[in-house]
Chain A
Amino acid sequence: MSKVKTHKVIGLRSTLLSLVLFLFFILLSNQFEPYNQSQLANIAMLLIAVLSITLLTGASGQISLGQGAIMAVGGYSSALLVTRLGLSMWLAFILAIFVSALFGLFLGLAAARLSGPYLAGTTLVMALAIPSIAVRFETFFSGDVGLSVDYGMPPEWLTKLIGEVSIEEWSLYVVLPFTAVALFAVLNLSNTRIGRTWRAVRDNEVAASLAGINIGRTKVIVFVCASGLAGLAGALYGFRGLVAPSVYPTDLSLTLLTAAVIGGLRSIGGAIFGTFVIVFLPDLIEKVTNNLAIPETVGIYLPALAIGLLLLLTVILNPRGAAGALEHLRHKKKH
Chain B
Amino acid sequence: MTPFLTAFFSGTAQGAIYALVSLGLVLVWRSAGVVNFAQMGQAMFTTYIASQLIQNNYSYWSAFLIALISGAALGALVDLGLMRPLTSRKNSQLLNSQSMRTTIPVIASLGILGVLKALAGIFWAGEERGFPSPVAPNAIKIGDTSLAITGFDLFVIGTVFLTLVLTTIFFTKTGMGLAMRASALNPEVTRLSGIKVGSVRTLGWAISGIASSLAGLLVTPRTNLSPNTLDLLLIIGFTAAVVGGLSSLAGSVLGGFILGYVISFVNVYSAPENVFIAILAFLLLALFLRPQGILGSKEVRSV
Contacts and interface: CB of A to CB of B under 8 A. Distances in A.
A250 interface: yes
Contact of B287 (A60, A110, A129, A324): A110
A254 to B, nearest CB: 6
A205 interface: yes
A62 interface: yes
Interface stretch (A113-121, A159-167, A177-185): A113-121
A305 B115 contact: yes
Contacts of B93: 320
A298 interface: yes
A258 B112 CA distance: 12
B90 to A, nearest CB: 13
Given A120-B35, A125-B279, A312-B112, A301 B121 contact: yes
Contact of B98 (A63, A125, A203, A304): A203
A261 interface: yes
Contacts of B95: 319
B273 A116 contact: no
B279 A301 contact: no
A316 interface: yes
Interface in B208-259: 231-232, 235, 238-239, 242, 246
A133 interface: yes
A206 interface: yes
Contacts of B204: none
Nearest to B239: A125
Contacts, number: 160
A291 interface: no
A70 to B, nearest CB: 14
A184 B86 CA distance: 34
B276 A124 contact: no
Interface residues of B, number: 55
Nearest to A309: B115
A135 interface: yes
Contact of B35 (A61, A117, A297, A301): A117
B134 interface: no
Nearest to A117: B35
A257 B107 contact: yes
Chain A CB within 10 A, most for which of B114, B276, B288 = B114
B118 interface: yes
Contacts of A298: 122
Interface in A55-114: 57, 60-63, 65, 110, 113-114
* Majority secondary structure, B binding face: helix
B107 A124 contact: no
Nearest to A111: B287
A44 B279 CA distance: 34
Contacts of A117: 29, 34-35, 102, 106, 246
Contact of A206 (B118, B121, B303): B303
A126 to B, nearest CB: 6
Interface string A125-140: 1101100110110000
A116 B106 contact: yes
A301 B115 CA distance: 10
A136 B246 CA distance: 31
Chain B CB within 10 A, most for which of A57, A309, A316 = A316
A254 B283 CA distance: 21
A26 interface: no
A61 B284 contact: no
11 contacts: A117-B34, A120-B103, A121-B35, A121-B235, A124-B37, A129-B277, A297-B125, A301-B122, A304-B114, A315-B111, A319-B94
Given A309-B115, A312-B82, A319-B92, 6 more contacts: A125-B239, A202-B98, A298-B122, A315-B108, A316-B85, A324-B94
Interface of A: 57, 60-63, 65, 110, 113-118, 120-122, 124-126, 128-129, 132-133, 135-136, 201-206, 250, 254, 257-258, 261, 265-266, 297-298, 300-302, 304-305, 307-309, 311-312, 315-316, 319-320, 324
Shortest 10 CB-CB contacts between residues of A and residues of B: A61-B99, A308-B114, A116-B102, A117-B35, A305-B118, A129-B280, A301-B121, A312-B111, A311-B111, A308-B115
